Structure 1
Amino acid sequence: MKEKSMKRIIDQYIRAYNNFDSEGMIKDLHRNMIFKNIANGEVTLELKGKIAFKNQIEQAFALFQKREMKILEQKFGDDIVENKVDFKGVLAVDVSDELKKYDLIKLQNKSVFKFKDGKIISIEDIN
């Protein structure tokens, strides 16, 4: 897949993410996509399929009043894009004793998008 096409799809996904738009986020996902969240080398969440991913992201919407993801750097390969990502979000609810409503969360991580048949087949968020 061409770099320009992969970039366009990822940019659209990020815009939808920032706007709490689940339909926009899943628009270019392969129906058999796999999502993994990896923290400290361990998979903390794995979802299979476009519908399971949509259900999860809609649940996650309730956690934030606002959120913003920005791509700081991209590395393109054959059907794969590694993104260094900056995230900021304001909590809408108390999450734990340490993380309370209105707290600002900031982090940087890596998001890896893999493509198949012109669609996103895999997303790995790596902390």
Structure 2
Amino acid sequence: MSNEAQQRQIIESYVKAYNAFDVAGMVKDMHHDIVFENIADGITNHKILGISAFLHQAEQATAYFREREQRIKSISFEEDVAEVEVSYSGVVGVDLPNGMQAGEELTLEGKSIFYFENGKITKLQDIS
């Protein structure tokens, strides 16, 4: 299997696990020193270092939504970096600090950038 095919499989597996609220499945292909960044309007508003911190955050986030779905629109590869265009939709599960209320629907377009090393995700950036 080519590097690109393996990376595509890892990304598709991650998204499938994300949609199923399967945190263990989300982290199975992550390096223990994973770096996660959430970037909105060009500003990094959240950064996580290490798999245990990522696990903790991902488990907490499952409570924020009743439903959530990322759909892959396209994936482009350059060396060990994959840029994934995604559509996101979700139904908020609890009242959120940003003013969204439980039951409200959220939709957005964005991208996720996956960085790979030795078949593991070493960095993940979610950009909206």
TM over 0.5: yes
Residues 88-110 of structure 1: per-residue CA shift (max 9 Å, x gap): 00011111474111101000111
1:34-53 equivalent positions in 2, closer than 5 A: 34-53=35-54
Distance in 1 between residues matched to 2:115 and 2:98, nearest whole Å? 36
Partner of 1:23: 24
TM-score of the two chains, using structure 1 as the length reference: 0.96
Partner of 2:73: 72
Where in structure 2 are there 5+ consecutive unaligned residues? none
TM-score of the two chains, using structure 2 as the length reference: 0.95
Distance in 2 between residues matched to 1:15 and 1:106, nearest whole Å? 18
| TM-fit CA distance, 1:2 | 1.1
1:2-21 equivalent positions in 2, closer than 5 A: 2-21=3-22
Amino acid in structure 1 at the alignment position of 2:121 = I
Partner of 1:90: 91
What is the number of equivalent residue pairs in this alignment? 127
SS in 1 for 2:100: coil
- Percent identity of equivalent pairs: 39
Change (3 A) 1:22 1:97: closer
SS in 2 for 1:99: coil
Change (3 A) 1:111 1:97: closer
Change (3 A) 1:27 1:97: closer
Amino acid in structure 2 at the alignment position of 1:59 = Q
4+ long deviations beyond 2 Å: none
Amino acid in structure 2 at the alignment position of 1:61 = T
